[in-house]
Amino acid sequence: MEWFSFMIFGLLIVISPGADFVLVFKNSVLFGRKAGALTAFGIGIGVCIHVTYSIVGISQLVLHNVWLFSMIKYAGAGYLVYLGINGLLHSKFKLQQPEPNSVVDKPDRHSKYLVQGFFCNLLNPKTMLFFLSVFSQLISMDQGNHSLFVLGYGVYIASLHVVWFALVAYIMTSKRASTVMNRFGQRINQLCGMGLITFGAVLSTNS
């Protein structure tokens, strides 16, 4: 039952709205389904990093060095604020099929959404604290018989992030959602930008 609780807890954490959700939402409605899906994959890669350092014990280094945690905390907050300001400056929304030679359609620009998702997740101190707390409990419960579960749980969480946010990208670019976005797209993009700035500001002031 303890393991089942961890599975449900992980699901609830992933689907709860946060900075990752706001970023996927913004990129999906502004740049299309592929941009949203790439952002989701970037978030999944970021989760893999969290899982890796949590399992191998680097988390203890961060936990016992306040200055290192502070650096990560402020870097993450600053990046969220940057994404929010960038979103506000480019909030104008026009839902249409991109031209063949447009900036959105260029393959060399697609990687930026992957990078945005990766750093948004990786530099979020709340995400780091989640993995520190959950995996410290899992590893302390491990008595040599559950090592595969600890690793499997990491894969489960990473996969859950990718699947959930890819689904968000799909829903936000559906025909029905397109009708709503054509009416309220610019306002929603502005709200998303303000949301990212708010997340960053709150994270920078939390101790």
* CA distance from start to end of the chain: 33
Give 151's contacts (C-beta < 8 A, 6+ positions apart): 55
Would you state the pLDDT for residue 63? 62
pLDDT greater than 80 at residue 98: no
Provide mean pLDDT across the span 126-149: 68
pLDDT attached to residue 30: 82
The answer to the question of residue 145 being in a domain is yes
Cα distances from 110 to residues 78, 107, 117, in angstroms, run 23, 5, 12
What span, in angstroms and rounded, lies between the C-alpha atoms of 186 and 39? 20
Range of the domain at 113: 21-93+103-205
- In angstroms, the CA 80 to CA 17 distance is 15
Q: For the chain, how many structural domains are there in total?
A: 1
Taking all residues of the chain, what is their mean pLDDT, rounded to a whole number?
A: 77
Please indicate, yes or no, if residue 98 is contained in any of the structural domains: no
User: Residue 99: pLDDT band by 50, 70, 90 thresholds?
Assistant: very low
Q: Which residues contact 94 (CB under 8 A, 6 or more apart)?
A: 185
Say yes or no to pLDDT of 103 above 50.
no
pLDDT tier at 24 (50, 70, 90 boundaries)? very high
The mean pLDDT value for 131-137 works out to: 73
Question: Does residue 12 lie within any of the structural domains?
Answer: no
**Confidence band of 206 (pLDDT split at 50, 70, 90):** low
Grade residue 101 by pLDDT with cuts at 50, 70 and 90: very low
Cα 122 off chain centre by: 8
DSSP state of 64: T
What is the DSSP annotation of 85-143? Answer: HHHHHT------PPPTTSTTT-HHHHHHHHHHHHHHHHT-HHHHHHHHHHHHHHHHH-S
5 domain-assigned: no
In a domain, 84, yes or no: yes
Answer whether residue 113 is part of any domain: yes
Judge whether 201 and 21 are in contact, CB under 8 Å: no
Q: What is the pLDDT of residue 102?
A: 43
Q: Does any domain span residue 14?
A: no
pLDDT, tens digit, for every residue of 30-50?
A: 888 899 999 999 999 999 998
Q: Do the Cβ atoms of 81 and 200 come closer than 8 Å? A: yes
Q: What is the pLDDT of residue 96?
A: 47
The predicted model gives 123-136 an average pLDDT of 77
Kindly state whether residue 134 falls inside one of the protein's structural domains: yes
**pLDDT recorded at residue 94:** 55
